[in-house]
Amino acid sequence: MTHSLRRAGAALVALLAGLLVVLSFTSAAQAAAAPPDAATVLNTWKSGDPLFVESGSPLTSDQQSAIRDELKGAKSKVYAVAMPKGAATEADLGAYFRQLGGALDQAGRTQATVAVMIGTQVYADSSQIGQQTLNRIIGLSANNAGGDVTKGMAEFVERVDLAAAGKTRSALSSGSVSGSGGGTGVLLALGGLALVGGGGYFLYSRNAKKKRLEQEARDLAAVKTTVEEDVTKFGEEITDLDADVSLQGASGQHIGEWQTALDAYERSKTQLATITKADQIREVTQTLEDGRYALAVVKAKVNNLPIPERRAPCFFNPQHGPSVRDVRWAPPGGAVREVPACAMDAQAVEQGYDPHPREVMIHGQRVPYYNAGPAYQPYAYGYYGGFGDIMTGMFIGTMMGSMLGGGFGMGMGGYGAGYSEGYSDAGGGDFGGGGDAGGWGDFGGGDFGGGDFGGGDW
């Protein structure tokens, strides 16, 4: 019996020792995780390979080959680094982009765009394209990728080429553009030239425009459904409060905010029914924001509570009404920032639980509205655009942040101005291939789910 206990004790000690070894190796590996050396990456690029792949990257060999073909076929200079998931954080990337940009500058490649893939999360910086334009390119490419990182990178390269050539309106079109540029897209371009004489080019252009308009119509229909749900939810809350207001006497006529809320509900329904383009979405959500604050004041009055401060709606779900305080929160893999939150979500975040985001249906999956693509930019702008510059900070690291760049909406109509109406291909300012480009380290991100140096054209 004693002998058996000794054997069991020895086995337990050996097991614990093994676990300690495994944990120590794991901790060491995690501590050692860092972006690959910029000089090593540059040497790979200079050798004629525009894609540096670090061991452990989730890209398959076929994906690597396809991405290399796209990068090599780019008309502008586009380079990429693929790392394992968790190899770097957003906090690391600013300095890392500056290192890569500095190495490129010293090597004589002063005009270039660099994409860094951490798993399937893609970040980019450029010395040839304005950062706001680049951020929108990343968001559009991720949105159209449908979880296919190869397609996402093809979209990214093609849009960068268009923007670098000053064709920013085309670069920021909402429909898919991959297949008309780098890599195998060259064959399609040659085929398009062959069709010009027989009128094929006209048919191709008309078909491309038709597809773009169809995609915009689908996007608009989807976001209209989301707003319709918000309007319906607001109406239900008004109905639920009606009895409490009536108990205050005179059907609540002495509570001015009650009539404000009722008017906002009716106006939002009218606005929703007349929407024909994406930018009109923000008019509805702005009306809902006004109405929800009025309703919050009514609730406070009927319950003899202090009048709530006029604050931005809850970041996680604007249906929750005005926020009560800011909380520190970070999206998966992103940097911590302060966001406005309702009491319920603020408590959840502060206690280490997940908040309850407003989810919408995209590609058959439910995702938070801030990761749902460019069509939701005016949706968010209507809710939050009236509260100063809080939007830039709170959306960083989300799909929405990838499209917004440094100034949400730019006071120009958000999605409606940037995508639906479009910018001139002639360029100018930030949208002409120059603008705020030239300084490395101010990067954007999104989730996509040659010869010898000196003699070759690396």
Question: Which of the four pLDDT bands, split at 50, 70 and 90, describes residue 199?
Answer: low
Q: What pLDDT is attached to residue 428?
A: 33
Q: Round the average pLDDT of the chain to a whole number and report it.
A: 76
25-39, 176-190, 277-291, 378-392 — most confident range: 277-291
Helix axes 377-384, 281-302, angle to 10 degrees: 40
* pLDDT tens-place string over residues 203-224: 656 777 787 788 888 888 989 9
Question: Which of the four pLDDT bands, split at 50, 70 and 90, describes residue 298?
Answer: very high
In DSSP terms, 340 is beta-bridged to: 326
Higher pLDDT, 131 or 396: 131
Domains in the chain with CATH codes: 38-183+439-447 (3.10.310.50), 216-421 (no CATH)
Global pTM exceeds 0.85: no
pLDDT for residue 187 is more than 60: no
* pLDDT tens-place string over residues 333-343: 778 889 999 99
Q: Which residues of 332-361 are buried (b: 16+ CB within 10 A; e: fewer)?
A: ebbeebebbbbeebbebbeeeeebbbbebe
Q: Would you give the DSSP letter of residue 392?
A: H
Helix axes 281-302, 256-273, angle to 10 degrees: 160
Q: What pLDDT is attached to residue 420?
A: 30
Q: What is d(CA 45, CA 452) in angstroms, rounded to the nearest whole number?
A: 10
Q: What pLDDT is attached to residue 204?
A: 53
Q: What pLDDT is attached to residue 396?
A: 67
pLDDT for residue 126 is more than 80: yes
Q: What pLDDT is attached to residue 177?
A: 72
pLDDT for residue 30 is more than 50: no
Q: Taking the chain, what is the end-to-end CA distance rounded to the nearest angstrom? A: 74
Residue 180 three-state SS: coil
| % of the chain surpassing 70 pLDDT | 70
Q: What is d(CA 322, CA 25) in angstroms, rounded to the nearest whole number?
A: 47
Q: What pLDDT is attached to residue 24?
A: 44
Q: What pLDDT is attached to residue 22?
A: 41
Q: Find, among 142, 172, 173, the residue nearest to 400 by Cα.
A: 142
Please report the sign of the dihedral spanned by the C-alpha atoms of residue 66, residue 72, residue 77, residue 79: positive
pLDDT for residue 178 is more than 90: no
Number of H helices, E strands in the chain: 16, 9
Mean pLDDT, rounded, for 298-315 = 93
Residues contacting residue 13 through CB under 8 Å, at least 6 positions apart: none
Question: Which of the four pLDDT bands, split at 50, 70 and 90, describes residue 291?
Answer: very high
Question: Which of the four pLDDT bands, split at 50, 70 and 90, describes residue 33?
Answer: low
Higher pLDDT, 230 or 182: 230
Q: What is d(CA 164, CA 87) in angstroms, rounded to the nearest whole number?
A: 30
| 55, amino acid identity | S
| 253, amino acid identity | Q
Question: Which of the four pLDDT bands, split at 50, 70 and 90, describes residue 425?
Answer: very low
Higher pLDDT, 16 or 249: 249
Mean pLDDT, rounded, for 155-184 = 75
Q: What is d(CA 187, CA 194) in angstroms, rounded to the nearest whole number?
A: 11
Question: Which of the four pLDDT bands, split at 50, 70 and 90, describes residue 79?
Answer: very high
Mean pLDDT, rounded, for 123-138 = 84
Question: Which of the four pLDDT bands, split at 50, 70 and 90, describes residue 448?
Answer: low
Range of lowest pLDDT (185-189, 197-201, 215-219) = 185-189
pLDDT for residue 27 is more than 60: no
Mean pLDDT, rounded, for 127-137 = 82
Q: What is d(CA 392, CA 386) in angstroms, rounded to the nearest whole number?
A: 13
Dmax of the chain from CA atoms?
95
Q: What pLDDT is attached to residue 421?
A: 30
Q: What pLDDT is attached to residue 424?
A: 32
Higher pLDDT, 387 or 423: 387
* pLDDT tens-place string over residues 258-289: 999 999 999 999 999 999 988 899 999 999 99
Q: What pLDDT is attached to residue 73?
A: 92
Q: What pLDDT is attached to residue 239?
A: 93
pLDDT for residue 292 is more than 90: yes
Q: Could you give the angle at the alpha carbon of 59 between the alpha carbons of 55 and 65, nearest 5°?
A: 105
Q: Would you give the DSSP letter of residue 454?
A: T
Q: Which residues of 376-409 are buried (b: 16+ CB within 10 A; e: fewer)?
A: bbbbbbbbbbeeeebbeebbbbbbbbbbbbeebb
Q: What is d(CA 366, CA 385) in angstroms, rounded to the nearest whole number?
A: 25
